[in-house]
Amino acid sequence: MGARTKARKRAVDILFEAEQRAVDPLRLLSDRVANPRTEAAVPQYTVEVVEGVIAERDRIDELLETYSHGWTLERMPAVDRAVLRVGAWEVLYNDDVPDAVAVDEAVSLAGDLSTDDSPSFVNGLLGRIVELKPSLLA
């Protein structure tokens, strides 16, 4: 597993945990950076992703809800929400990651962490965002 793949998974873990515990994700991130629970330190890319998702969360959530066709954010599994937020942030706000890589990584995470239907759902929703990206950022 590549360094960025691990960092993305760690970002999903932090976003998911913060939501489940109803705590501020940035505070949880700060706690994890200062006192990692595992032997591995929090990767810098994890910090960048979590901070980016939080900075753009309102817009990301609006787009996810708009293009998810009948699925409200609350109805989506919590893991899927975290994966979709990371994937959408990478597609829309991180020019260092090709869109196809961001989508593939999100689909892979959904496959590893969520339901059997999640990878196709994540792929379809992020694929739509990629399709509309020029008009979404205009």
Closest CA to 16 of 109, 122, 121: 109
Residue 81 sits at φ, ψ, to 5 deg, of: -60, -45
Span 3-136: which CATH code?
1.10.940.10
Neighbours of 38 (CB within 10 A): 8
Cα separation, 95 vs 38, whole angstroms: 30
Q: Give Cα 100 distance to the centre of its chain.
A: 15
Query: Tens of pLDDT along 43-58?
Result: 999 999 999 999 999 9
Neighbours of 39 (CB within 10 A): 5
pTM: 0.95
Q: Domain residues of the chain, as ranges?
A: 3-136
Query: Tens of pLDDT along 64-113?
Result: 999 998 889 999 999 999 999 999 999 999 999 999 999 999 999 999 99
